[in-house]
A and B are shown apart, each in its own frame.
Chain A
Amino acid sequence: MCVDGLLFPGDFVDRGSFSVENVMLLFAFKLLYPNHFFMSRGNHETTNMNRVYGFSGEVKHKYDDKVMAVFTEVFQSLPIAHVINSRAFVVHGGLPADTSTTLDAVSRISRFREPADSGLMSDLLWSDPSPFKGVQPSKRGVGIGFGPDVTAGFCKTNGLGGLPCCCHVSLCSDVGARDVGLLLTPFVTNGFGYGAGADMVIRSHEVKDEGYLVEHDGKCVTVFSAPNYCDQVR
Chain B
Amino acid sequence: MELKDVFKAQGALHKKYCLMMLKQLKTYFREQPSLIHVRCVPLFQLRRIVFPPISLPFLHLPFIVALFGLCLVSDHGPGRFQNQRVWRHARSVLRFAEHLRACGHAFGNQHVPVQWYATIRVVNIAMLVSLVSRVR
On whether the beta carbons of A173 and B46 are closer than 8 Å, the reply is no
What residues of B have a CB within 8 angstroms of the CB of A112 in the complex?
30
On whether the beta carbons of B40 and A184 are closer than 8 Å, the reply is yes
- Per the bound structure, the CA–CA distance linking A138 and B122 in Å amounts to 42
Residue of B nearest to A91 (CB): B35
For B, the interface residue count at a CB cutoff of 8 angstroms equals: 56
What residues of B have a CB within 8 angstroms of the CB of A180 in the complex?
58
On whether the beta carbons of B49 and A24 are closer than 8 Å, the reply is no
What residues of A have a CB within 8 angstroms of the CB of B41 in the complex?
1-4, 166, 186
**A-contact 0/1 string along B28-63, CB 8 Å cutoff:** 111011111111111100111111001111110110
- Per the bound structure, the CA–CA distance linking A1 and B29 in Å amounts to 19
Rounded to whole Å, the gap between the CB of B57 and the closest CB of chain A is 6
- Per the bound structure, the CA–CA distance linking A172 and B126 in Å amounts to 13
For A, the interface residue count at a CB cutoff of 8 angstroms equals: 71
What residues of A have a CB within 8 angstroms of the CB of B7 in the complex?
18, 21
Name B's A-contacting residues (CB within 8 A): 4, 7, 12-13, 15, 18-19, 21-26, 28-30, 32-43, 46-51, 54-59, 61-62, 64-65, 70, 72, 109, 112, 114-117, 120-122, 125
A-B contact pairs, 22 of them (CB 8 A): A1-B39, A2-B39, A2-B40, A3-B40, A6-B57, A21-B62, A21-B65, A25-B65, A28-B70, A31-B117, A70-B22, A73-B26, A77-B32, A79-B33, A79-B36, A80-B34, A106-B35, A107-B34, A111-B34, A164-B42, A167-B40, A176-B62
